[in-house]
């Protein structure tokens, strides 16, 4: 059960990274934050789907 909450928190942190507005001296890292955030959302969402399907057929 704790693993599911960790996956949900990771998805939320991915959304936070995508909506992060870097300040002037970190503005060159903006696209990197978007890519990392999108990857976190995709990876942890698919992990949640896998856990759900696995528990459905258990």
The string of pLDDT tens digits covering residues 4-52 is 899 999 999 999 988 888 787 878 888 998 999 999 999 999 999 999 9
Give the domain extent around 37: 31-58
Give, in order, the Cα–Cα distances in Å from 17 to each of 14, 22, 30, 38: 5, 10, 9, 8
Q: What is the pTM of this model?
A: 0.81
Could you tell me if residue 1 is inside a domain?
Answer: no
Residue for token pair 């990771």: 10
| Total domains in the fold of the chain | 1
Could you tell me if residue 26 is inside a domain?
Answer: no
Distance CA(31)–CA(46), nearest Å, equals: 23
Could you tell me if residue 19 is inside a domain?
Answer: no
């Amino acid at each position: 059960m704790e693993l599911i909450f960790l996956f949900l928190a990771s998805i939320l942190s991915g959304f936070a990274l995508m909506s992060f507005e870097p300040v002037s001296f970190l503005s060159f890292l903006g696209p990197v934050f978007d890519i990392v955030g999108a990857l976190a959302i995709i990876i942890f969402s698919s992990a949640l789907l896998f856990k759900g399907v696995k528990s459905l057929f258990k």
